[in-house]
Amino acid sequence: MNRLARFAFYLLCGLIAAFLVLPLLVIVPLSFNPEPYFSFTPAMLQLDPAGWSLRWYREIAESAQWRLALCNSLGIAAVVTPLATLFGTMAALGLRRLPTRPRKMLAVMIASPLVVPVILFATGVYFFLAPLGLTQSFTGIILAHTALAAPYVVVTVGSTLTTFDERLLRAASILGSPPLSAFFKVTLPLIAPGIASGALFAFVTSFDEAVIALFLAGYDQRTIPLQMWSGVRDQLSPAVLAAATLMVFLVTIVMLTAMLISRSARSAGARR
């Protein structure tokens, strides 16, 4: 029975993974389509190199709208990442010092953006920021993305802190190290892998976010996901597929880096 249940579990996981990954097998090849429509040409089906083209990648590189969207996405993510990392790390350190019951309650509240549907979160953020005049502004998007990304940092740093030995801080205090100096010389180096992983998750969350941008962004604040949404809605250009392919590779690289950092941190913790 246990073997059958294990087989059913692995089968379900495989089906879910296939459901998520198989669309990429269509999107990525179609991004090299030389024609302005979403279909494979006969030359592409015959794997003829002459039937594949970088036309839509060149269009992204040459289009002022796509360049503006890329600059906006990178700029917003570059601000959101350190803010979310700072606030998330502080929250994780603070939660660790609380008693069990209030720690669990606050952890649920902090993690609520990860559980609540993004459309509800975006609606709430819109009605909160609109009276303050922060809609259609970079400030509003940065604040909303920071609130959405910080819980990822709390989770990664919190998991790193589970292997942290508090006796190291007591030893530093006995040796005369002030609390601030002990934090930078003892705590920070040991939780740095968790902070780095959280920062990468925060960057991906901000760079890949579309729903909040749809609520808060104006034309000048248009991001890559919002530009892709407009392309699908208005003109169905294969340039959207090229942009999606680039984003998939970027997110994959970032997530693999985060996984490697997390694995190295766990290995170091096991050795300690």
Whether the Cβ atoms of residue 136 and residue 72 lie closer than 8 Å to each other = no
pLDDT of residue 183: 83
Q: List b or e across 203-217, with b for residues whose CB sees 16 or more CB atoms inside 10 angstroms.
A: bbbbbbbbbbbbbbb
pLDDT of residue 267: 62
Residue 41 located in a structural domain: no
Q: In 3D, which of 108, 143, 131 has the Cα closest to residue 217?
A: 143
Residue 112 located in a structural domain: yes
Determine the structural domain holding residue 214 and report its residue range.
51-270
Q: In 3D, which of 208, 92, 102 has the Cα closest to residue 156?
A: 92
Residue 118 located in a structural domain: yes
Residue 220 located in a structural domain: yes
Q: In 3D, which of 215, 233, 235, 226 has the Cα closest to residue 66?
A: 226
Residues in the chain: 272
Residue 229 located in a structural domain: yes
Q: What is the pLDDT along the chain (272 residues), one digit of tens a residue?
A: 577 888 888 889 889 888 888 887 888 888 888 887 777 777 777 777 777 888 888 888 888 888 899 899 999 999 999 999 999 999 998 888 888 788 888 888 888 888 888 899 999 999 999 999 888 889 999 999 999 999 999 988 988 888 777 788 788 887 777 878 888 888 888 888 889 889 988 999 999 888 999 899 887 888 998 888 887 777 777 888 888 888 888 888 887 887 787 676 566 555 55
pLDDT of residue 154: 92
CA distance 169 to 183: 8
Residue 7 located in a structural domain: no
- Domain containing 61 — which CATH number? 1.10.3720.10
Number of domains in the chain: 1
Q: Say which residues have a Cβ less than 8 Å from residue 255's Cβ, sequence separation at least 6.
A: 200, 204
Cα 92 from chain centroid (whole Å): 18
CA distance 27 to 23: 6
Residue 142 located in a structural domain: yes
Residue 25 located in a structural domain: no
